[in-house]
């Protein structure tokens, strides 16, 4: 389960992201680093930090290169359509390991942050029990959230792969 500190961190980033998205004058360009920053703060890692950006963090699109093994510290857990992979992802997050779900549907598919918690049954995912997550949508019209089931981020587990950071 989430500590009070963890809950505050993720809620603060959710609020920052929502405010950024609402007030952005650059087509949300200035919001693209927040998912990376939130993962670093929440899991106390620096994988997504960058000196090349004024924000100090990589942009959304650059997260994929890091997760997909440029440095070899992130490993695929498995497909979100497999209950064993979903269970492993929740266990890793509960043990404090940075864990994410990534859509493989497009080159820069959406990334959701898996949070500590308990698996929740997702009827829209064929009854699979899915992890809790935070999801910051750059697309207008999609509501960003924290501490809800992975099924709130995607309507089905199709093409979603779970990853975790290995030390």
State the pLDDT at residue 41.
Answer: 96
What is the model's pLDDT at position 71? 67
Is the predicted pLDDT of residue 142 greater than 90, yes or no? no
Each residue's pLDDT tens digit, 86-112: 999 999 999 999 999 999 988 788 999
- What pLDDT sits at residue 70? 62
Helix (H) or strand (E) holding 22: helix 4-23
Dump pLDDT digits (tens) for 53-97: 888 999 988 998 899 876 679 999 999 999 999 999 999 999 999
Torsion of the alpha carbons at 24, 143, 112 and 122, rounded to the nearest 10: 180
More confident residue, 21 or 127: 127
Partners of 111 in beta bridges: 102
């Amino acid at each position: 389960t989430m500590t009070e500190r963890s809950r505050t961190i993720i809620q603060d980033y959710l609020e920052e992201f929502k405010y950024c998205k609402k007030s952005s004058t650059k087509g949300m360009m200035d919001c693209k680093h927040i998912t990376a920053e939130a993962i670093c703060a929440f899991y106390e890692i620096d994988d997504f930090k960058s000196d090349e950006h004024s924000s100090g963090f990589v942009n959304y699109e650059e997260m994929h290169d890091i997760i997909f093994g440029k440095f070899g510290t992130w490993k695929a857990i498995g497909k979100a359509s497999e209950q064993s992979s979903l269970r492993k992802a929740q266990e890793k997050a509960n043990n404090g390991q940075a864990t994410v779900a990534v859509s493989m549907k497009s080159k820069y598919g959406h990334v959701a942050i898996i949070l500590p918690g308990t698996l929740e049954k997702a009827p829209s995912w064929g009854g699979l029990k899915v992890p809790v997550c935070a999801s910051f949508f750059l697309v207008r019209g999609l509501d960003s959230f924290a501490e809800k089931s992975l099924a709130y981020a995607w309507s089905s587990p199709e093409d979603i792969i779970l990853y975790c950071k290995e030390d």
